[in-house]
Amino acid sequence: MGRLIVKYQDRLYNAILKICGNSDDAAELTQETFVKVLENIGAFRGQSSFYTWLFRIGVNLALNFCSRKLRLGMCSLDGGVGEQEKFSLAANLPDKREINPVAIAQNRELARQVLAALEKLEDNQRAIIVLRDIEAMSYEEIAEVLQIELGTVKSRLCRARMALRELLQTVWI
């Protein structure tokens, strides 16, 4: 189990962090995922890979946590990019030919804005984008993790990307 933890904890933590948006919660959810994996190891039949099974548990926990957090009004997901912060990303796009402190700072700012936009998506949309575009899972793996049909993966992913594009639109121009 120790080797499995070392092997997967970073990827799982990173994905959960992108879904729930808070490092403390992500660490605790990652820990809880491994505890649940141990609890239910008898139920793992090997029909899917351990990796997708682990992520199924982790993503489910993260989504449940997000919906509970939203229901209890623990924090507002509207607290990301404020109106005053919306400005042209075109002006902030770094020049790839040079790496300097300014470019690094611009990259950080860009990442911050993308993450803030990601936070504004619905939980299910955010999860599918994280799994596909950040975790680089195949459609089949995403279907396995989220327990949805392949066709649903395609349509949900498309809608999520459209919603994110909409949110980022103000910064593209």
Partner 1 sequence: MSEKEYLEKNELISGYIDGQLTPRQITELKRLLAHDSQCQQELEAMERQQRLLQSLPVESAPAGLTQEIQSALERQFILGGSVRHSDTVGKWGLRLRKAAAAAAMILLPLLALSAVVYTILQPTEQAPNTSSEPVAAIEKGASASPELLFSAVLQFQTNQPIAANDFIEKKIHTLGLMNFTTPARQSDRTSYKIVCSRKYVEGLVGELADLWSHSEKASYALLDTSTKQPVCVDGIDAQQALAMIRLADISTAAKLAQNISEQNTQKALVKANPADVAEPRPEKPSKPILAWDKDMQQVPADGQDTICLVIEVLGQ
Q: Which of 153, 144, 146, 148 is nearest to 48 (CA)?
A: 144
* Separation CA 12–CA 33 (nearest Å): 9
Q: Is 10 in the site for partner 1 (CB under 8 A)?
A: yes
Q: Which of 158, 134, 159, 131 is nearest to 147 (CA)?
A: 131
- Minimal distance in Å, beta carbon 17 to partner 1? 5
Q: Is 28 in the site for partner 1 (CB under 8 A)?
A: yes
Quote the tokens at residue 139: 């459609």
Of the candidate residues 109, 110, 122, 148, the single one contacting partner 1 (CB under 8 A): 110
- Minimal distance in Å, beta carbon 131 to partner 1? 11
Q: Given the structure tokens 């040079």, which residue do they identify?
A: 98
Which of residues 100 and 140 has its CB atom nearest to partner 1 in the complex? Answer: 140
Which of residues 4 and 48 has its CB atom nearest to partner 1 in the complex? Answer: 4
CB 131 within 8 A of CB 114: no
Sign of CA dihedral 138, 163, 106, 18: negative
Length of the chain (residues): 173
Q: Is 154 in the site for partner 1 (CB under 8 A)?
A: yes
CB 57 within 8 A of CB 36: yes
Q: Is 22 in the site for partner 1 (CB under 8 A)?
A: yes
Binding site for partner 1 (CB under 8 A): 1-2, 5-6, 9-10, 12-14, 17-18, 22-25, 27-32, 34-35, 38-39, 61, 64-65, 68-69, 72, 74, 107, 110-111, 114-115, 118, 129, 132-134, 136, 139, 154-155, 157-159, 161-162, 164-165, 168-169, 172
